Amino acid sequence: MELVFTNESCTGCNKCVRACPVLVSNVVEDDGFVYVNQDNCIACGACFDACSHNARDYRDDTAEFFGNLSKGKKISVIIAPAFLANYPREYKKVLGYLKQKGVNHIYSVSFGADITTWGYLKYITEHNFVGGISQPCPAVVRYVEQYIPKLIPRLMPVHSPMMCMAIYIKKYLKVTDDLAFISPCIAKKMEITDDNCKGYVKYNVTFAKLMQAVGKDYERCQEYTDELEYGLGSLYPMPGGLKENVEHFLGKGQVVRQVEGEREAYRYLEEYLERVNKGKELPFMVDILNCSKGCIYGTATEPERNTDDVMLTLSKMRQLDQNPGKNKSLHLGKKGKNSNPWTEEISHKQRFDNLMLAFKELDINDFIRNYSAKAVEIKEPTEQQYDEIFKKMHKYDEESRNINCECCGFTSCRDMAKAIFNNVGKRKSCVYYLKDVAEREKSKIQELRKKEQEDQQIHQERLQDIISQFATLRENVTELSVANEDSANEATNLAQYVQDISNFCYELNESLETISNFIDIYKTTNENITAIAGKTNLLSLNASIEAARAGEQGRGFAVVAEAIRNLSASTKDLVVESDKKAEDIIPKINNSVGSVKRLIESINEMTEKIATIAANTEQISSQTSCVQSMTEDLKDAVGEI
């Protein structure tokens, strides 16, 4: 399951990187988005405190818990004492709501904390284990296992209060229910799922997610009336709670180092490793918590609840549970004033003896915790590799390599270079690098502007040339338009001339037909004249012969003479008729000649028009070539702008 994750509200401000105690838990993307490397994250919650954009969130088991309850799954609850402290007015009805939903039993982790105290003191005194590091905080345990595995032998080999309570419920109370922990801590999920915790607890139900799921529904529920009992174990979630427990049983002569807070805790562990390596004297115990205000203000609590009221409520719980007459149903051993390990009225030694007596029926081996090294490799660059990384960040001298402004989220420029080397950082996160890039870009822009101004001048000149070419083009187009109009007019005239020629041809055809008819008539007339002439010759011959024979006789000659005279008359009439025909045909012939002349003239004019059109066509062709050439020039000129 993805435990801690980044949501869409991330702005890339790097606050989460700066707050995180682990160099390789946050991975910066090229766009500035920072996501969580689940394998490297210790769920300390530092990023939640740092992020003002609410870009970090987490998942717990609340939904699965309620889902399985609704299915009838047998589940009992272990509840942290911090829940009562955070919700002093609501907690009884909230617990009543859980009972109504099907929760079987409700146990306080406070008793588990008492077992842890017993286990710590028993192990320390029996094994002379001085200098142990407390381990109720799973974030601290995960940090040691992953990043300082050499300190694993210094971790107290006793389970946390939650686990001690779970083991007690399972092994000593024989409860077979699944167990859910009502938890103030995100990181508890890592402890629950750790192989060394053997699955005793199944659900991590955090305060914030629980109350979000419950809403206002709890207000209608009956209060849970079985009073939860607390011992000094209720102080565990408070800063210095373990220290106070140790001093209660062993006195204040023992030096218990108290450390809290995400930054302070993990920095101290590094220093503690150095102290162990150098064989220096160690404190009796290290009481260390991830959260600066303890688990009562844990990573999964509601921030608006983190007030002094929480601490005051825990103080009241402590006073009630230190009452000598208070019976603890879960505790073992004798009851009574002098047997109560938590009373202040007896000596430290008596308290210690009473504690050992109270838990004498428990086997400490049941509560022993083992640890596993889960070392995360953080590669250390060589000096040459550091140098190469710095150069890529435009850091060429020692001053620029030691600015250490932390804007990138890392403590030093060297840490950032190391993060880049481990593929979790980006040089774009470095303000110096961005500034240098910006300066270089500024110089480039200035150069580009200068070149742009020069180019602008050239462009202006080219533009003027283009404008001039456009003017020329406009003139050519105008001329082309005029030429086209002339050509159109000439073509129209030519069409008219062609029509006239056609009409002339029709007239010529009629004239020629007339001539043809005339020729036919003339031919016939000639034939007739020839015939008449022949007859006239014959008659004349006959008349001559007759005249010669008759001598004085003139009667026959008279007859012939009459015939000749008639024939002559006929010839005269025929000639007159032919003349008349000739007179009729001559104008038509003249008209035909005139038509032919006009045809010739029309053809000549048409030839001239065709020549004009041809000339215009050549001019248009020339103008078109010019326009095409100018278009290509304009295209090239515009392409260069």
- CA-to-CA distance for 96 and 91, rounded, in angstroms? 8
Chain-centroid distance of CA 408 in Å reads: 24
- What per-residue confidence (pLDDT) applies to 519? 56
**Residue 575 lies inside a defined structural domain of this protein:** yes
Residues 267 and 358 in one domain: yes
Cα four-point dihedral sign 536, 537, 538, 544: positive
100 or 490: whose pLDDT is higher? Answer: 100
Residues 271 and 147 in one domain: yes
Residues 307 and 401 in one domain: no
The token duo for 548 is: 């010669």
For the ranges 320-329, 388-397, 621-630, the maximum mean pLDDT occurs at 388-397
Expressed as residue numbers, the domain containing 486 is 433-640
Asked if 379 and 422 count as a contact pair (C-beta separation under 8 A), the reply is yes
Residues 348 and 437 in one domain: no
pLDDT digit string (tens) for 559-618? 655 666 666 566 666 656 666 665 676 677 667 657 657 766 776 776 677 677 667 666
CATH number at residue 407: 1.10.15
Query: In this model, does residue 360 exceed pLDDT 80?
Result: yes
Residues 446 and 400 in one domain: no
In single-letter form, the type of residue at position 54 comes to N
**Residue 259 lies inside a defined structural domain of this protein:** yes
**Residue 14 lies inside a defined structural domain of this protein:** no
- What per-residue confidence (pLDDT) applies to 238? 52
- What per-residue confidence (pLDDT) applies to 327? 37
Asked if 73 and 57 count as a contact pair (C-beta separation under 8 A), the reply is no
Asked if 231 and 321 count as a contact pair (C-beta separation under 8 A), the reply is yes
The token duo for 628 is: 């095409």
* Mean pLDDT confidence for 440-459: 85
Which of 400, 416, 432 represents a domain boundary (last residue)?
432
Compute the CA torsion angle 219, 223, 227, 229 (nearest 10 deg): -20
DSSP string, 391-409: HHTT--STTGGG----TTS
Provide the pLDDT confidence category of residue 452 given band limits of 50, 70 and 90: confident
641 or 56: whose pLDDT is higher? Answer: 56
- What per-residue confidence (pLDDT) applies to 25? 95
Question: What stretch of H or E contains 180?
Answer: strand 178-183
**Residue 15 lies inside a defined structural domain of this protein:** no
- What per-residue confidence (pLDDT) applies to 328? 42
Query: In this model, does residue 459 exceed pLDDT 80?
Result: no
**Residue 406 lies inside a defined structural domain of this protein:** yes
> Which residue has 């028009």 as its token pair?
609
* Mean pLDDT confidence for 10-38: 93
Query: In this model, does residue 625 exceed pLDDT 50?
Result: yes
Residues 523 and 456 in one domain: yes
Residues 342 and 391 in one domain: no
Among candidate residues 45, 17, 41, the one with its CA nearest the CA of residue 406: 17
Among candidate residues 253, 248, 255, the one with its CA nearest the CA of residue 349: 248
The token duo for 622 is: 């020339």
Query: In this model, does residue 490 exceed pLDDT 90?
Result: no
Question: What stretch of H or E contains 311?
Answer: helix 308-321
pLDDT digit string (tens) for 362-391? 999 999 999 999 999 999 999 999 999 999
In single-letter form, the type of residue at position 342 comes to W
Maximal C-alpha separation, the chain? 221
Residues 416 and 444 in one domain: no
CA 487 → CA 227, 304, 478, 615, distances in Å? 116, 94, 14, 9
Residues 265 and 312 in one domain: yes
CATH number at residue 189: 3.40.50.1780
Find all residues with CB under 8 Å of 162, minimum gap 6, and list them. Answer: 78, 80, 109, 112, 136, 181, 183, 188, 191, 201
Residues 224 and 352 in one domain: yes
pLDDT digit string (tens) for 491-541? 567 657 656 766 666 676 676 567 667 656 665 665 666 566 566 656 556
Chain-centroid distance of CA 638 in Å reads: 36
- What per-residue confidence (pLDDT) applies to 323? 43
Cα distance from N-terminal residue to C-terminal residue, the chain: 59
| Beta strand segments in 12-86, E | 26-28, 34-36, 56-58, 75-79
Provide the pLDDT confidence category of residue 285 given band limits of 50, 70 and 90: very high
Of 406-415, 498-507, 546-555, 598-607, the range with the lowest mean pLDDT is 546-555
**Residue 49 lies inside a defined structural domain of this protein:** no
- What per-residue confidence (pLDDT) applies to 329? 40
**Residue 27 lies inside a defined structural domain of this protein:** no
Find all residues with CB under 8 Å of 506, minimum gap 6, and list them. Answer: none
* Mean pLDDT confidence for 623-632: 68
Chain-centroid distance of CA 234 in Å reads: 50
Cα four-point dihedral sign 186, 192, 197, 201: positive
pLDDT digit string (tens) for 127-186? 999 999 998 899 999 999 999 999 999 999 999 999 999 999 999 999 999 999 999 999
- What per-residue confidence (pLDDT) applies to 325? 35
Angle, helices 348-358 vs 109-127, to 10°: value is: 110
- What per-residue confidence (pLDDT) applies to 263? 84
Provide the pLDDT confidence category of residue 333 given band limits of 50, 70 and 90: very low
- CA-to-CA distance for 247 and 331, rounded, in angstroms? 21
- CA-to-CA distance for 598 and 611, rounded, in angstroms? 20
Residues 504 and 447 in one domain: yes
Residues 64 and 83 in one domain: yes
pLDDT averaged over every residue in the chain: 82
User: How many Cβ atoms are within 10 Å of 442's Cβ, its own excluded?
Assistant: 10
- What per-residue confidence (pLDDT) applies to 245? 79
Provide the pLDDT confidence category of residue 297 given band limits of 50, 70 and 90: confident
- CA-to-CA distance for 190 and 290, rounded, in angstroms? 14
CATH number at residue 612: 1.10.287
DSSP 170: I
Asked if 245 and 235 count as a contact pair (C-beta separation under 8 A), the reply is yes
DSSP 169: I
Asked if 284 and 156 count as a contact pair (C-beta separation under 8 A), the reply is no
Tell me the three-class secondary structure of 201-215, residue by residue: CCEEEEHHHHHHHHC
Q: What is the pTM of this model?
A: 0.69
Percent of the chain with pLDDT over 70: 68
- CA-to-CA distance for 205 and 507, rounded, in angstroms? 120
**Residue 33 lies inside a defined structural domain of this protein:** no
Number of independent structural domains in the chain: 3
Find all residues with CB under 8 Å of 235, minimum gap 6, and list them. Answer: 113, 241, 242, 244, 245, 314, 318
Query: Per residue in 341-366, is it b (16+ CB within 10 Å) or e — as a string?
Result: bbbeebeeebbbebbbebbeebeeee
